[in-house]
Amino acid sequence: MKEHQSFESLPELKFDKNRNRVNLCPCGKDNRDGKFVPYIGYETAGYCHSCGETFLPQRPIDQRTAIGPPFSRKQISKPKSKIDFIPVEKFKSLLLAGKDLYGENHFFHWLGDPKRGEYAFDTKTINRLIDDYFLSNSIKYKGWVLFPYIDISGNVRDIKAIDYNPDTGKRISQKNGDTQNRCYFIGKEILGNTNANTERSFFGEHLLRGNNKPVRIFESEAAAVYAAPFFPESICVATGGKNGYKWTEQTTSNILQGRKVILYPDIDGHEQWEQDAEKVRKYGIEVQVSQLLKNSAIKFAKEKGIEYSELVKLKYDLRDFLQYHKLADFQIK
């Protein structure tokens, strides 16, 4: 009964709409992206969408002794759920179903768009990317590309369906006034189970098997695919977003052990990935954050007479830098 009374004595907690008033999540991550939502009246109590933790306010000592330390999800030990992989036969059927739709695919159209002239990818390069990453087409969403998340053991964990602007190669976002969400993970739909555990790997992780090549990590799947031909000596993978895949956790980043790792965050996530790199280095992994994109964006903004902040809003990434380079004479570190 005492324990119940102690919980009842907690004040009413409401989330603050002004997420950015708190600079840091209690877990230590920068809150510039607004992932940590504080409770009204508190600086270190709230919910973090990045680390998945709920932080409740500290209680007075006489109340805390009855129920233990402040609640945190880390204190609840849950057995790790079995991952529900997409069966190989279902994945093969998906690939076959969309095999005649590559000509309608907006992302592939951009890769080989004749308007890009000498900078467009040729058919051989595009086909190699399709084969290497098992890229396919959506039947349900015409023109969309399917990015399968296949782990190092060859298990298909999830599939991401995204639409791209065929003229710019950039994802079509609801932020630009579009009324339709044009990005879905469809693994649970394929499995016919909304409760399926489709815990993801790195996108492109299957390419790490059987080699010790350097790894170049990007935020988006499209950036990793586009960059791959420019870095044939490396494996290009993606996290699926700035905070995607929980790649900074030791249990997931261990797959990078023994490799040279280079990070290529979009410029709006550069500072955060600098901090993330520090965390991963503590696991004994050799990792560095490329300054290429940041320096390129600064130069580009100066040349065009625009504010650097505008490029940050546009999520300037490696595709913006590489689109003016030919494969034949490309040399970069």
Domain CATH number, residue 319: 3.40.1360
Structural domain ending residue among the three candidates 75, 104, 130: 75
> Do 295 and 239 belong to one domain?
yes
| Single-letter residue type at 331 | Q
Tokens of 171: 């994802």
> Do 106 and 127 belong to one domain?
yes
pTM of the complete model? 0.72
pLDDT of residue 62: 39
> Do 10 and 65 belong to one domain?
yes
> Do 208 and 188 belong to one domain?
no
Question: What phi-psi label fits residue 67: left (phi over 0), alpha (psi between -120 and 50 degrees) or beta?
Answer: alpha
Measured CA to CA, the distance from residue 50 to residue 29 in angstroms comes to 8
> Do 193 and 94 belong to one domain?
yes
Q: How far is C-alpha 206 from the chain's CA centre?
A: 17
The answer to whether residues 270 and 312 touch, using CB atoms and an 8 Å cutoff, is: no
> Do 113 and 183 belong to one domain?
yes
Q: What is the mean pLDDT of each run of 10 residues along the chain (333 residues)?
A: 39 72 72 78 75 60 36 46 93 94 94 89 95 95 95 96 89 61 90 94 96 95 93 95 85 93 89 92 94 83 83 76 66 44
Q: How far is C-alpha 13 from the chain's CA centre?
A: 31
Domain range holding 31? 2-75
> Do 294 and 242 belong to one domain?
yes
Burial of 266 (0-12, 13-18, 19+ CB in 10 A): buried
Q: Is 221 helix (H, G, I), strand (E, B) or coil?
A: helix
> Do 195 and 218 belong to one domain?
no
pLDDT of residue 29: 67
The domain total for the chain is 3
Structural domain ending residue among the three candidates 56, 75, 94: 75
The answer to whether residues 112 and 323 touch, using CB atoms and an 8 Å cutoff, is: no
pLDDT of residue 124: 95
Structural domain ending residue among the three candidates 12, 45, 75: 75
Alpha-carbon separation of residue 128 from 108, 123, 268 (angstroms): 12, 9, 30
